[in-house]
Amino acid sequence: QKSLTVSDIQGRKGGVPLVCLTAYTTPTARLVDQHCDVTLVGDSLGMVLHGLPSTLGVTLEMMVLHGQSVMRGLSRSLCVIDLPFGTYEESPAQAFRNASRLLAETGAAAVKLEGGVHMAETIAFLVARGIPVMSHLGLTPQSVNVLSGYKVQGKGPDAQRILTDAQAVSDAGAFAVVLEKIPQALAHEITQAIAIPTIGIGAGPACDGQILVVDDMLGAFADFRPKFVKRYAELSKQASQAIEQYAAEVRAGEFPAQVHSFGQPA
């Protein structure tokens, strides 16, 4: 089975919505790959897997390790990997140095980075040198300290700025753009205005695709429940019940039973 390319994804503008999820490890990547067009190794892994308070502490080394794990589970979907905070903002040269390392060491097809107009030069620089770029606008979690929290972005006069950012990253050569936590009318306007697919998360139904953090939609990351996440399972509830039962059975001497044991009973 041939895997999807950047141009396959770009060609889905205005078509059947692109289905995207995050994955951080091989087993989840295998599941995601069966049904999704894009698998994102998101820097959300810092919060979801490593217990960090934000994505700011995620390192390039963490992204390489999880990117390698995810790639072992993929055969069809396009793998995009986040450039973490502090590895690309300084200059196009810094971005290329770190993005090329991510692609070379993981085999992922593309990188994602946060920011609009001020990152356009970097996006063009990377694309010209062989690195496809997905952009990320609206609520950009790496800027949580400037944004003063994880609020809805693009309300009022701020809407025009995000539209301008979307136009800039599209013109700079990004192949798609994530729109996070913005009003659905603005996401609709941007989707109509720019040439590349928009992938929404908390951006309403008008986008060219949707993405969620897989642990959120599976109910596996229990301490986080934003309005835009629909839970398709309650895995942490089930896991908690399973561990409670295991503990009770071990304490009661019920586990392991004979079927779980080798040789004759003592």
Say which entry of Na ion, ligand KIV, none residue 211 contacts (CB below 5 to 8 A, set by partner kind).
ligand KIV
Q: In which residue are the tokens 């629909």 written?
A: 230
**Stretch in the footprint of ligand KIV (CB under 6 A) among 8-16, 39-47, 119-127, 166-174:** 39-47
Residue 64 structure tokens? 């390489």
> Taking CB under 6 A as the rule, does residue 211 contact ligand KIV?
yes
Identify each DSSP E strand in 55-175 by its residue range: 78-82, 110-114, 133-138
What backbone phi and psi angles, to 5 degrees, belong to 114?
-95, 140
> Taking CB under 5 A as the rule, does residue 115 contact Na ion?
no
Residue 107 structure tokens? 């085999």
Rounded to an integer, what distance in angstroms lies between the CA atom of residue 72 and that of residue 6? Answer: 19
Q: Mark residues 151-190: x for contact with ligand KIV by CB under 6 A, - for none.
A: ---------------------------x------------
Task: Give the number of C-alpha atoms closer than 13 A to the C-alpha of residue 128, restricted to the C-beta side.
Answer: 11
Please tell me which residue in 180, 234, 244, 249 is annotated as part of the active site: 180
> Taking CB under 6 A as the rule, does residue 22 contact ligand KIV?
yes
Show contacts with ligand KIV in window 85-124 (CB under 6 A). Answer: none
Show contacts with ligand KIV in window 44-63 (CB under 6 A). Answer: 44
> Taking CB under 5 A as the rule, does residue 42 contact Na ion?
yes
244 is catalytic: no
112 marked ligand binding residue: yes
Say which entry of ligand KIV, Na ion, none residue 79 contacts (CB below 5 to 8 A, set by partner kind).
none
**Stretch in the footprint of ligand KIV (CB under 6 A) among 8-16, 36-44, 231-239, 248-256:** 36-44
CA angle 43, 12, 68 (to 5 degrees): 30
Which among 106, 162, 165, 167 is positioned nearest to 131, based on CA atoms? Answer: 106
82 marked ligand binding residue: yes
Cβ burial of 241 (10 Å; 0-12, 13-18, 19+) is exposed
Catalytic residue set: 180
**Where along the sequence are the contacts to Na ion (CB under 5 A)?**
42-43, 82
